[in-house]
Amino acid sequence: METPREEWGSKIGFILAAAGSAVGLGNIWRFPYMTGENGGAAFVLIYIFFVIFIGFTIMLAELTIGRHSQRNAVGAFEAIFPKTGWKFIGVLGIITGIGILSFYGVVAGWTLGYFFKTLLGDFSRLSGETSFQDVFAGFIGNPVSEIVYLAVFIGITIYIVSRGISKGIERWTKILMPLLFLIIILLVIRALTLGSGVSKGLSFYLKPDFRALKPEIFIRALGQALFSLSLGMGAMITYGSYISKKDNLLSSAAFVVLFDTVIALLAGLAIFPALFAMGMSPKGGPGLVFLVLPSVFDKMPAGTFFGAAFFLLLAIAALTSTISLLEVAVAYFIDEKNWSRVKAAVFTGALAFVVGVPSALSQGASKWFHKIPLVHIPFLDFMNALFGNYALTVGSFFISIFVGWKWGTGAAAKEIALGAGGFKLRAVWAFSVRFFAPFAIFLIFVYLILTGRFF
């Protein structure tokens, strides 16, 4: 209490850090493969709908809880209503953060591996018989490199988080995100000029076919929206706690939501035309972008350079996301248990690594983790659905109930108005937090339980 809370170095520092948390593998790896598996354009439309009407609502709710309480994800609820059960939303968030980090670290490790592979020219040397598919399967099926890359990635995350908020996080994001954005634009241009198949890809991605709509699409599109925006587990509560009272929460939230969504939509625009031009199936699952993009770079002038740069920047974008996943737990142990930053980062990071090992081995290295009992999917895919979809959705439901019905939209709106010089959309937002968001989530869950298609 006595020492003032660490704050972001500047307003732009906070926006960059929040955008850095949001933009990551969710946009470039998860969004395209989810879209491919769930019917294309119809999924995209529902996703955009949820981003606007639920994502933005929850984003503002989380940032507001954080800035008002100036505390971590658990302490925030405790500060607003002491000695109630609401703090368990935060506890769920900490568990979810470690759960997501465990499999996210594995995929982030793939991007690191692909950076080295592209740099060393592994893809330009491919002959007829060995395809991009074989390279990928061989890579993710190797137990040693899978575990080493996971360890390296989580190790870097621990290092940066242990050095603290503004020093560690802001520095990374400032220069590198615009560069990533630039390479994605180049990829889009190349993909759109690949010739035959491009129009088929575009219509898959942009022309909704509502006959392809299956019940589970709704939960997946919602889960994807929350995942991509880093919502539902207190990451934005934690980041919000470092924002100054002078900053504008409304415009910050709007910017992050917009930027994140544009990046995801552009990634899709690069992937689908290329995928169809190469005659591949959109249902490639978690390996999708690792199969499609290397061959696009292969067909690009200076492809080795752009390919290597892309995978490196993607790894860094993933890093600014894993930082936020770890920071939720770390902030909790610092605030509530008086741990040092280093101790908290090492302990929680190591935990995520251990939980991540079965995911790392699930993509071909171990039969057992490749098809786990009951659900019959790889462990990584299971964790991705459990934490990346369901836990975030449940968390968002309770956050909206907390702000809408317990704390009250009046009190929250006062906090939002600070630094924003008013809050014009207040009634719309209040309606969404109180009614629309929780009801929509509730209905989706009822639907899911009735149809029984969880995984």
Q: Which residues bind ligand TRP (CB under 6 A)?
A: 21-22, 24-27, 100, 227-228, 230, 233, 235, 321, 324-325, 392
Q: Find the shortest distance in angstroms from Cβ 103 to ligand TRP.
A: 11
Based on CB atoms, which residue is closest to ligand TRP, 359 or 409? 359
Instruction: Show Cβ contacts of residue 233 under 8 Å, excluding neighbours closer than 6 positions.
Output: 73, 92, 93, 94, 96, 97, 100, 328, 391, 392, 395
395 vs 271: CA distance, rounded Å = 31
CB nearer ligand TRP, residue 57 or residue 295: 57
Question: Rounded to the nearest whole angstrom, what is the least distance from the CB of residue 426 to ligand TRP in the complex?
Answer: 26
Q: What's the closest the beta carbon of residue 26 comes to ligand TRP, in angstroms?
A: 2
Structure tokens at 203: 């219509």
Cβ closest to ligand TRP, residue 227 vs residue 333: 227
Residue placing its CB nearer to ligand TRP in the complex, 20 or 404: 20
Q: Give me the least distance between CB of 220 and ligand TRP, in Å please.
A: 15
Q: Which C-beta is closer to ligand TRP: that of 104 or that of 306?
A: 104
Residue 132 or 290 with smaller CB distance to ligand TRP: 290
Q: Which is nearer to ligand TRP, 156 or 365 (CB)?
A: 156
Least distance to ligand TRP, CB of residue 59, Å: 11
Distance separating alpha carbons of residues 178 and 313, to the nearest angstrom: 10
Shortest approach of ligand TRP to residue 333 CB, angstroms?
A: 17
CB of 109 to ligand TRP, least distance (A): 14
Cα–Cα distances (Å) from 273 to 162, 197, 202, 213, 429, in that order, read: 42, 7, 6, 21, 37
Which tokens belong to 451? 């149809």
Q: Which residue is nearest to ligand TRP (CB)?
A: 26
CA distance 95 to 231: 14
Task: Give min distance, CB of 325 to ligand TRP, in A.
Answer: 5
d(CA 330, CA 433): 28
Q: In this structure, what DSSP letter does residue 280 have?
A: -
Environment class of 318 (CB within 10 Å of its CB; exposed 0-12, middle 13-18, buried 19+): buried
Of the candidates 376, 378, 374, the one whose C-alpha atom is nearest the C-alpha of residue 362 is 378
DSSP string, 190-217: HHHTS-TTHHHHHHHHHS--GGG--THH
Pick between residue 21 and residue 362 the one whose CB is nearest to ligand TRP.
Answer: 21
Comparing CB distances to ligand TRP, the nearer of 194 and 319 is 319
C-alpha neighbours within 13 Å on the C-beta side of residue 162: 17
CA distances from 450 to 384, 392, 436, 453, 454 (A): 22, 20, 21, 8, 10
As a whole number of angstroms, the distance between CA 180 and CA 324 comes to 19
Contact 267, 47 (CB under 8 A): no
Report in angstroms how near the CB of residue 259 gets to ligand TRP at its nearest.
12
